[in-house]
Structure 1
Amino acid sequence: MSINKGTAIRLGLLLIVAFALRLYHSSTYGLYLDEKYTLVISQGVVMEGANQRDVFFTPGKPYFTPQEFWKEKTLADFITANIRGDIGNSPSYYAVLWLWTKLFGLSDFSIRFPSVLFSTLLAGLVFVFVRRHFGSERLALISALLTAVEPFFIAYSHMARNYSMSFFLTLLATHLFLLIVERKQTGQASAKLLLAYGLTFVVALLSHYLTITVFLCHGLYALLFVRPLRTWLPFLVTGLTGVALVSLWFLFGGGTYTFQTLAYQAQFYRTIALTNPYTSGFGVVLPATLINVAQRSLPIWSDLFIISNGLGQTDALGVRYLALALFFGLIAAWILAQYYQQRPLPRWVPVLYGLLLIAPLPFVAVPTLQYVVTAALPSLAYLLLLAMRRQAAEGHLALLVFVILLALVPTLFLIGMAFRNGHTYGITQRYSGFSFPFSVILVALTLQQLVTAPNLLKGILGIVLLIQSYYVTRLLYHIYQDRAPKYTYFARPRGANPYYLTAQKIQQAYSPGDTILYPSVRLQPRDEIEKTYWPYSIQDAQLTNMYLPKDAAYIQRMDTTQANKIILVKRSGQRLKLFDLKGSLYRY
């Protein structure tokens, strides 16, 4: 289907907005812990030096140089770095990032830029997906707009991790899957589409193992809706071939370490949940009881939809107060349902409806307009049901079921794994983030249906959505300020990358005969994967060398007598403090 000029212009503007929102502040703050692993893994280096024995651990060799650190890496080095540094492995992401850094360098801006690009392209792909499969340009534009401003996508576009790439790939695979089903059912087989789907399946699964939850939904859709059964054959062949290719990585790459570490972590976090759930240093890790899992997953569910983002914060808003708001909201939704089709609307209806939405405020300890938004959720759910009924009448029932499965199954999988492993540690938004492109579509359907509501009720709900827009905008502001712990992991803003700054100072101040000293804290390895050949950390030295010239001959040593300061010792004996890492602030 061709796209008209007006729609093309609107889409172009949306993509510009999406790109700008993702680019802004993308390199302002230094790398957090997982990104540091991304940096070293992409260059074939194992954090703490398990594949750098000759550089750091040769007996009788107390110093090292950037030239030694940057010696040519083998394929085995890259595989070792990957499997020891990332439980999710993500070899396809690291391959993309390795090529990218060869072209554009290792700056924070550079290694985060692929995430910016994939996240921007995701907004365009959402438009393509909705327009092609739902047949509505307006719905596609609304979906693309929501994708462009979704805080979750923006936050993860600022991270040098696999997530933005995985979100894009799983949506692309779903798009290809539906195209193949459509052509198979009309007798128009396409080997090229099957090949593209198979490759996307492999690359997605090797970008993050939990993308399997999306492909599980593909299988469920086939079981429910794809007929005749012989239509399954190409998918079975493609899927089995893809699994065989991925298995090669497990057999000769990360499989052993992955399963070993998963088993270890399940036991480790289960022990924490039973013995030290609140002060272990790993956040709150609770036993996987029904109540604990429900409380932990509620924010995941609420944040999955931009119109309910932030409403699952039971610690801040209170379970009783949220329940009270929903109680009034259900009454308001019943009134909406009763008078939705009536024209003209009785004058008392919008008055009572509006009063019901604000009714929770006098009863709560700390009044906030988030309770008003909470009270409006049943009404918005009713509008979504109407939109789905309309779409089903237009022949999109199977597609709607598919979208709902894709929006729900990844989080349900995490909940199932929590009960299986006995702890709540793994219930986190990024592990089910593959759902977001599909939850965006459900929200877009709701907003499109809102247009058909009676004017006064539409106006009231429009005001509610403006209130929620304020809270979403505030969240975006906090993301840009590095003060949104649920997405950025930080309540206090980080500074700029200390290792890059230190490397710049070294290049400016170093003279032949000088020595660079790195802090070296004692390691406490928890398993064989974390165990290295030296009882003290070399991480600060590794991360600084990432930004030093590869042919430099700077003399560098480890200093096990202190834990925070990188020091330049001049030939004369003068000691210059290059950077004070101040403990865990810069090491998280």
Structure 2
Amino acid sequence: MKPATLYSILLILALAFFLRVYQSGSHGLYLDEKYTMVISQGIVMEGANQKDVFFTPGKTYFTPAEFWKEKTFSDFIEANIRGDIGNSPVYYGFLWLWMKVFGLGDFAVRLLSVVFSTLGVGMLYLFVKRHLKSESLALLSAFIAAIEPFFVAYSHMARNYSLSFLLTLVATHVFLLIVEKLKTKSPARNLYILYGFLLILSLLSHYLTLTVFLAHGIYVLFYVRFRQWFPLLLTVLASVGVVSLWFIFGGGKYTFQTLAHQAQLYRGLAQTNPFDNPYAIILPATLQNVAVKSLPLWADLLIIFNGLGQIDTLGIRNMAIALTLGICAVFVLKKSLTQEKPSLLLVALFAFLLVAGLPFYTVARPQYIVLSTLPSFFYLLLRHLRKSTYQVPTSLLVFLFVLATIPTLFLIVMAFKNNHTYGLTQRYSGFSFPYSILFVAMILREVVSLPKAFQVVFGLVLAVQAYFVVDLLVRLYQDRAPKYTYFVNPRGPNPYALTAEKIMQKYAPGDTILYPSIKLNPMDEIEKTYYPYSIMDAQLTNLYLPKDAAYWQRMDTTQTDQVLLLKGDTGKKIVLFDFEGRKHRY
């Protein structure tokens, strides 16, 4: 590797790490992360495997030492299958080891996602360099991945997503190495073993990684000779056999039951209460609803179109005007590029078409200029791909396209199957991003190859879009980017860690800590515990208390928000923390 290339990739990785680590511990845990915290310790949320701590008849008090008593391997399995339908045992295993070294603080547990996400940037560089044989394209792809808001957002979450994205990218890399070996009839036993191992890890990090391996299967079906299928098929069957053991003896106990229950629940809400429900806007899976809901997923896969799929914001009429003008601009661009030296008049006409709709839009948003450029960007991509066919096999380009689209198409199919739109969310199709980023890099490479006048026009458009990407990153850091962080109003610091800190400061022997407890309404056997009132606040606070402490604690079912300290000598109640407005929304 040349020194300049080495310095470039190191700078890109440093940028990626900085963008991910910055502010990663600033905001309190959201709901899924709360489950991450307890599951990683082998604890079931609401205490299904802590009956002796919270629910023993006649036992009204519990202590941190009782809460933190040694957990068995069975506890970890039960916590995972009840709290996350067995979806992420590999991630929780990594996180458990990580916590042994770095602790349970918000910054510490999210740092693991930061590391996985940064490694993903480096892996994308290696992937593009190895399989598309282009150092510059590899560096550009890595840079785009480094600044991609989606990757930054999910690196800020103590969840399995960053790990799953990394594992599937590595698995695709190994898959292509196997394909190369098949073409040259070279031995590849170690690669098959590695591929099978990655398949197991991926499926046990997130079940929807299946969509990536489905894309691998499509490639094999069309581009690998039938008589060469056997080793790959044997590897896949053996790996699926290992994963099936988890379903038989672990996660499968509740996975399919829960998925069926959720499908029925969301389908019912879509039909009866699509807007005012505790989950989200859930619509029936009509063609129009699915199209509107999935359009942002397609747009946000490409950073140069991020935010341009929001029909409710941009409006159908305005989008139609922008795209119509954009199609006209493509013909001008195509005509210009047939000339040895494009006419400045044609360049001016091209630029005019991009902005010509501004007087006709209901609101003159700069995004419409970017949207008008969309057809031209796709034309440049096709132009670049035609050039690339001389250097890159067409089969590989088709494969990359399949990888970039199959995860989202799978979600659309499932939406129609289940008749609701709840699952149409970016994180479930995030496995597509490495490959869609590669196509963006190709577009930008083609822009650079254009005549200078067109470079200026496209550069100005990209500068407009860069403003909105930077704005999205800023709002992400401020916890005001709901499409990725889920929040409009920023969260404060972790209230449970703050509560534990106050307990340690103010508790004296003879005192009792009282935790608020709301009435539970379990929807199925998975959510059913042994007590009709929630113990979540007590559990999450005890995560941050000393493991050998003997603080007396009990539940207070008369109120739902305050953690109280009952002084043993006077009986006076002191409010240690008030969760109102800080807890149930995240």
**Counterpart residue number, 2:120:** 122
Cα distance in 2 for partners of 1:395, 1:124 equals 21
Residue 587 (structure 1) shift:
4.7
> What's the CA shift string for 1:25-74, capped at 9, x where partnerless?
00000000000000000000000001111000011001100000001101
2:307 to 303, 307, 310: 310
Q: Aligned-pair distance for 1:585?
A: 4.5
Shift of residue 151 of structure 1?
A: 0.1
CA distance in 1, matches of 2:55, 2:356: 68
Alignment length (residue pairs) = 585
Q: Which residue of 1 aligns with 2:361?
A: 364
What RMSD, in angstroms, separates the aligned Cα atoms of the two structures?
0.9
Distance 1:87 1:423 in 2: 20
Q: In the alignment, what sits opposite 2:69?
A: 71
SS at match of 1:361: coil
1:403 to 400, 403, 407: 400
- Distance (Å, rounded) in 2 between the aligned partners of 1:232 and 1:185: 12
Please give the secondary structure, in 2, of the residue aligned with 1:362: coil
CA distance in 2 between counterparts of 1:466 and 1:396 reads: 33
Deviation at 1:101, TM superposition (A): 0.7
C-alpha offsets along residues 482-538 of structure 1, whole Å, 9 cap, x if unaligned? 000000000000000000011111111111001000000001111111111100000
Match of 2:477 in 1: 480
Pairwise CA distance, 1:452:
1.4
Query: For 2:516 and 2:316, how far apart are their aligned partners in 1?
Result: 46
Q: Distance in 2 between matches of 1:364 and 1:138?
A: 39
Instruction: Quote the offset at 1:124 in angstroms.
Output: 0.4
SS of structure 2 residue aligned to 1:192: helix
**Residue pairs, 1:201-212, within 5 angstroms:** 201-212=199-210
* Number of the residue aligned with 1:490: 487
Show structure 1 runs of 5+ residues with no match. Answer: none
Matched, 1:240 2:223: no
SS at structure 2 position matched to 1:118: helix
Q: CA deviation at 1:395?
A: 3.6
Residue 432 in structure 1 maps to residue 429 in structure 2:
yes
Aligned-pair CA distance for 1:354: 0.7
Q: Which residue of 1 aligns with 2:349?
A: 352
User: 1:51-90, aligned counterparts within 5 Å?
Assistant: 51-87=49-85, 89-90=87-88
Deviations along 1:116-142, whole A, 9 cap, x unmatched? 000000110000000000000000000
Residue of structure 1 in register with 2:37 after alignment:
39
Q: Distance in 1 between matches of 2:332 and 2:538?
A: 65
Letter of the 1:545 counterpart: N
> How far is 1:282 from its partner?
1.4
- Of 288, 293, 296, the residue aligned with 1:299 is 296
- Asked if the contact 1:88/1:209 (under 8 Å) is kept, the reply is no
Share of identical aligned residues, percent?
59
Cα separation, 1, equivalents of 2:360 and 2:85: 47
Compute the displacement of 1:584 (Å).
6.1
Give the C-alpha shift of residue 183 in structure 1.
1.4
Structure 1 365/77 Cα, relative in aligned 2: closer, same or farther at 3 Å? Answer: same
**How many Å apart are 1:576 and its aligned residue?**
1.7
Which residue does the alignment assign to 2:326? 329
Tell me the equivalent position of 2:224: 226
CA shift, 1:359, in A, is 1.2
Q: In the alignment, is residue 528 of structure 1 matched against residue 525 of structure 2?
A: yes
Q: How does 1:572-587 map to 2 (within 5 A)?
A: 572-583=570-581, 585-587=583-585
1:394-473 pair list within 5 angstroms = 394-473=391-470
1:297-316 C-alpha deviation (Å, 9 max, x unpaired): 01111111100000011111
Change (3 A) 1:279 1:586: closer
Q: 2:372 aligns with which of 352, 371, 375?
A: 375
TM-score by length of 2: 0.99
TM-score of the superposed pair, with normalisation by structure 1 = 0.98
Instruction: Find out whether 1:178 has 2:176 as its counterpart.
Output: yes
Deviations 1:301-333 (A, max 9, x none): 111110000001111111110111000000001
Which residue matches 2:185?
187
Report the residue type matching 2:272 in the other structure. Answer: T
**Secondary structure of 1:63's match?**
coil
SS in 2 for 1:393: coil
- Counterpart of 1:511 in structure 2 is 508
Q: Aligned pair 1:98/2:96, yes or no?
A: yes
Aligned with 2:514: secondary structure? strand
CA contact (8 A) 1:55 1:64 kept: yes
Distance 1:586 1:30 in 2: 12
- For the 8 Å contact 1:18–1:149, the answer to whether it is kept is yes
Which amino acid in the other structure matches residue 100 of structure 2?
A: K
Aligned counterparts of 1:341 and 1:116: Cα–Cα separation in 2: 46
Alpha-carbon contact 2:80-2:86 (below 8 Å) kept: no
2:307 partner SS: coil
The aligned counterpart of 2:258 is: 261
CA distance in 2 between counterparts of 1:321 and 1:124 reads: 39
Deviates more, 1:576-585 or 1:46-55: 576-585
**1:342 matched to 2:336:** no
Measured after TM superposition, the shift of residue 384 of structure 1 is: 0.4
Mapped partners of 2:107, 2:272: distance in 1: 41
Structure 2: give runs of 5+ residues left out of the alignment. none
- Contact 1:163/1:430 (CA < 8 Å) preserved in 2? yes
Q: Does structure 2 conserve the Cα–Cα contact (< 8 Å) formed by 1:498 and 1:586?
A: no
Find the aligned partners of 1:580 and 1:167 in 2 and give their Cα distance: 38
CA shift, 1:187, in A, is 2.0
Question: 2: CA distance between counterparts of 1:584 and 1:347?
Answer: 59
1:97-126: CA deviations, max 9, x gaps? 011111111111111111000000011000
Q: Do 2:518 and 2:534's aligned partners in 1 also have CA atoms closer than 8 Å? A: yes
Partner Cα distance (1:474, 1:101) in 2: 33
User: Contact (CA 8 Å) 2:275, 2:282: kept in 1 or not?
Assistant: yes
Task: For 2:574, give the aligned amino acid.
Answer: L
Alignment of 1:552 onto 2:549: yes
AA aligned opposite 2:350? Y
- For 2:11, the equivalent position in structure 1 comes to 13
Distance 1:350 1:576 in 2: 72
What SS class does the counterpart of residue 102 from structure 1 fall into? helix
Letter in 2 for 1:93: Y
Where 1:287 maps in the other structure, the secondary structure is coil
Counterpart residue identity of residue 225, structure 1: Y
